[in-house]
Structure 1
Amino acid sequence: MRRHRPPRILFRTVHIAIIATLLLSTVASAKTLTLFYRSNNNNEMLMVRELIELYESRFPDVKVELIPSGTGGGINYTEKLMLLRASGQMPDLFHSSADKAGYLINGWVMDITPYYQRDFSTLNTRDFLPGVLDAFKRGGKLFGIPAVLSGQGLYYNVDIFQKSGLALLPVEWNDKAWTWEDFVSYCQKLTRLNPDGSVQQVGVNMLGEYKLPDLAWIFGGDWFPPEAYVTGIAHTSILDSPQNLEAYRAAQDLYEHGWVGDAVGADPWSGFMSGITAMEWVGWWKVTTFRNAKLSFAWNMAPMPKKVTRNHTLWFDTVFISADTDLPEEAWQFHKLYTSSEGQKLMQKYLGHVPTRFSALEAYINATTQNTALSPPEVLTYISGATEHGRISVEELIYGGIAISSQMQNWIQAMLVNREEPAAVMIARVKPQLDALLAEYAAKAPGK
C-alpha cells in the first residue's frame, strides 16, 4: 500500500512558521537601554559609541540606543533632559552634565547603593583617587561612581620664571613654602611694563574663575554655611564673614596694582599661551588646550597658593542611572563598565580627561610629561594632592548652584575687573541680593 506523503510545501510552511516564531521571540526578549549623552564633541561621540559596542558584545541580549543631546554640557543640555522627562521619555542613562545638584535633589537619579554593596568585591575601590567615591554620596546613599575628574590649577611659564631668577613652584600640595604672600610677590616681580605704560608681561591671568568660591576658601571663608553642603539647600549666605572680606580685599589689591592680566587688558584666556602672562589660574580642562597648541616654552603645574587652605573646586562626571528606569540591572552593568578602568582608558584614548582611577592614569601622565617639565611621579603627586585638597563644586552640591554661581560671577567680576566699588561696599550691597536668590531656590526645592 502506498503511503501518503504530505506535500513539501506544507513542511516548508511549518518550517518558516517556526523560524518566524523564534525570531519574534528573540526580538520580544531583546532589551533596549536608552542613553542621553552630550554631543558637542566628535571625539566624545566616538568614545561613547565604542563603549556601547563593548557593552553590547558582553550583554548580547541588551541594545543601547544612543540619544545625542545636540548640545554641550550647559543649560541647553539640562533643558533637553527636562523635556524628555516631562514627555515621559526619560532615558535609562544620562550623562551627568550641568545641573547635578538639581538631578539629585529632584530625585531623577537612582540610588545605586544596593548594587554597589552587592558587587563591592569586584569594583576594586582602592583603585580610585582620594575622596572620589564621596562625590555623589547624599544622605548616606550612593547615586553614582565618578569616571572623570577636573579641578583648578596654577600653570606657569618655566622660561619666564628662570629668566626672572625665580624658583620654580612645588608640585606637592602640602608644601608649606608656597603661600599667598609668595604668590603676591611673584605676581609683582613677573609684571613688566613697556616705556609707554602698556603691558609687556603680567604676573597672572586672573584669580580663578569668578563664578567659583575658591578665593574665599583659600582665606578660610565660604559663601555658604556648612549645613548647606549637607542638605544641598542654602537658605542664606555668609558672604559678609571677615575671611571673605579679607580675601576680596587682597584680590582687589592685586588688580589695582596691575599685576593681573584681566585688569590691564591682557586676555585672561590666551595671554598665557602667547607668552604675555607668566601664570594662568584656570581649570584642568585647559591642559588639553596647552598640549594641542604645542607651546613654544616649557610649562609646569603648581598648587593653589595657601593662606589658610589650598582648597579649590573639583568637578566630577559620570553616567547617571535614571530613577525611572525599568532596566536597573542592565543600566548598572553599563554604569560599571563606564566607570571601570577599561572604560576610563577608553575615555583617555579619545578625550584626555583626568580619570578617577589610578590604573587609568598612565596615558594622562605620559601625555602631561611630554608637554611639561614634570616627571611621571611628580604628575601623580600633583593629581593626588589636588584631589585631597579639592572640594566638590557648588554647582554639584547646592540646589540652584548654576544660577547662583553665574550671578556671583557678575558681581565679583564687576568688583575686581571693573573696580566699581571696594570689597566691603560690594559685599554689603550684594549679600541681601544673594540671600534673596538663595531663598528663591530654597522655596523651589522638592519638599519645601
Structure 2
Amino acid sequence: KLSYEEAVEGAFGLFHWLLLLACGWANASDAVEILCVSFLLPTARCDLLLSSADMGLLTASIFLMMVGGYVWGYLADQRGRCKVLVVSLTVNGVFGCLASFSPWFWLFLLLRFLSGVRVGGSIPVIFSYFSEFMPRLRRGAMISALATFWMAGNILAALAWMVIPRTWAHVSLGALDFQSWRLFVVLCSIPSLSSALIFKLLMPESPKFLMEGLSPIKKIFSGALKGRSSALLIVFYCISFYYGLWMWFPELFERVEGGGSPCANISLPSALHNQSCYPVKTAVYMEGFIVAASNLPGNIFTILVMDSTGGKALLGSLMVSSLSVFLIYVVQTKTQSLALSCVFSGVSVIAWNALDVVGTELYPTQLSSALGFFTGVGRVAAIMGNIIFGKLVDTNCAVPILLVSALLLTGGLVSLLLPQTKQTELT
C-alpha cells in the first residue's frame, strides 16, 4: 500500500502540464480582475466624476471581501476544491461584466465589491488544489510556474491601451454612455467565466480531498502552528499593503508625464471633467504594460531556483522591493521612475511566488481555510493601502509611498522567523 506522496510521485505526466494551464488561467483571471481597475482610473474618473478619494475606494473595492479567503477556503475543505472554484470564478465573471453597464459610481462600486467576493476565495483554493496533484520534488518549481501566470494576467490587463483609447467602442445605449473603458471591463470578465467552464467540464476533484474526506479544521494559532502563523500574518499584511502603490501606478505615471517626482505634480479639480481626459494618453498604458512585463525575469528566476533554495530564502527579496519603492519617491525624471517601477515589479514577484510556496507547505493541505485566512488579512492590508493612497495622494503623497517601503522592509525581516519548507512532504 502506497502513501499519498508515493502515489503522486510516480504519476507525473502530461495531465500535470494541462493542470498547470487550467489553474494558471484561473490565476491569471485573478490578476486581470484586480488590476483592471487601475487602468480604468485615468478615463473612468471623468465619466463617473470621481475624486481621488473615490478612486481610492474603487481600487479598494476588489479587496473589500475581507473574509472571502477564509469562507471560500472553508467551503473548499467541506465541499471540494473544484466545485468551489467553479462557483467563485462564475461569481466574479458575472458581477464583473454587470459592472460595465453601471451608470452611477455607487452601483459600479457595489458590483466591483461583489466581484471581489470571488477573488478573495479562489487564489488560496487554486494553489491548494494544484499542490495536491504535485510530487514533492517538483512541487516548488511547479507552484512557481503557476504563480507566473499572475504576470500573464497582469500583461492582459495592461493591454488596456489597445481598447480604452479607441473611439469606435463609444456607443450610446439610451441614458448610458458606453465608453471604451466599459468595453474593457466586459473583456476583463472573460478569463473568469472561461476558467469556470474549464474546471466544470474538464478538471477532476483533488485526490487528497477525496481520500481524506471531511477532516476537522485545526486552529492555526495554537500549538506548533502558532509561531509560524503569527509571522506569516505579518508577512502577508506587509506585502499586500503595496497594492495601494501598485493600483495607483497608471495615475502616478500620468502625473510624471512632464517630468519630476510623482508627488510633485498634483491633479487639479479640472481633471474631473471629460475634456481633461480625452483624447486618452496611450503612454500611460504602455508604461503599465512595460511594468507588467518586467515580472518575467523574477518569474523565471523563481522557477529555476525555488526547489534548490526554498521559499524562505527568496522572501528576503522584500527588502530589495523596499529599497526600490523608496527610490521611486526620490527620483526626479519619468525614465528613472519607470525603471525603478520595473525593478520593483520584477523583485516583488519573487517574494509573492515564494510566499505562495511557503504558505502552501506550512500547513496541512486540507486546511485551505488557513491560507485563505492569510489571504483575507492581505485583503485588509490592500484595502487600507488603497484608501490611504486615495486620501493622501493629493496632499501628502510621501506618506503612503514611504509607508509601503517601511512595511516591505518589515515583512522581509519577519520572514526570517519562518521555518524552512524546502521539499517538505505535504501532510
TM-score, structure 1 length as denominator? Answer: 0.26
Query: Which structure features the higher share of strand residues?
Result: 1
Query: Which structure features the higher share of helix residues?
Result: 2
Structure with higher RCO (Cα < 8 A, 6+ apart) = 2
